[in-house]
Amino acid sequence: MSSLKAKELKEIGKTERGKKLEELKLELIKAKSQSNKGGSSRIKEIKKIIARIYTIDKKNIENKKPMEKVILNESKLKPRKVEKKT
């Protein structure tokens, strides 16, 4: 398997990324079992691709739904919304 770039991962859909993630996790397990034969560079590459997928998914979630915090106003004890500063 060749190294997947972030641009390539963004182009594929969320379900495809999920399938790719499962494949990579299985491949990582296989690579770890064969690591005593010398394959640590492949393990690092697989971990990087997995991290890219998680990062892309996390950014997509953050862009769709902005975080809001609820803070209690101590004087009135009523919740108020505070928008995230950008």
What is the rounded distance in angstroms from the CA atom of residue 22 to the CA atom of residue 29? 11
More confident residue, 3 or 70: 3
- CB neighbours of residue 17 within 10 Å: 19
**Domain boundaries defined on the chain:** 6-83
- pLDDT tens digit string along 19-57? 999 999 999 988 888 877 666 788 889 999 999 999 888
- pLDDT tens digit string along 65-75? 555 555 555 55
More confident residue, 77 or 46: 46
Helices 14-33, 40-64: crossing angle, 10 deg rounding: 160
Query: What's the CATH class of domain 6-83?
Result: mainly alpha
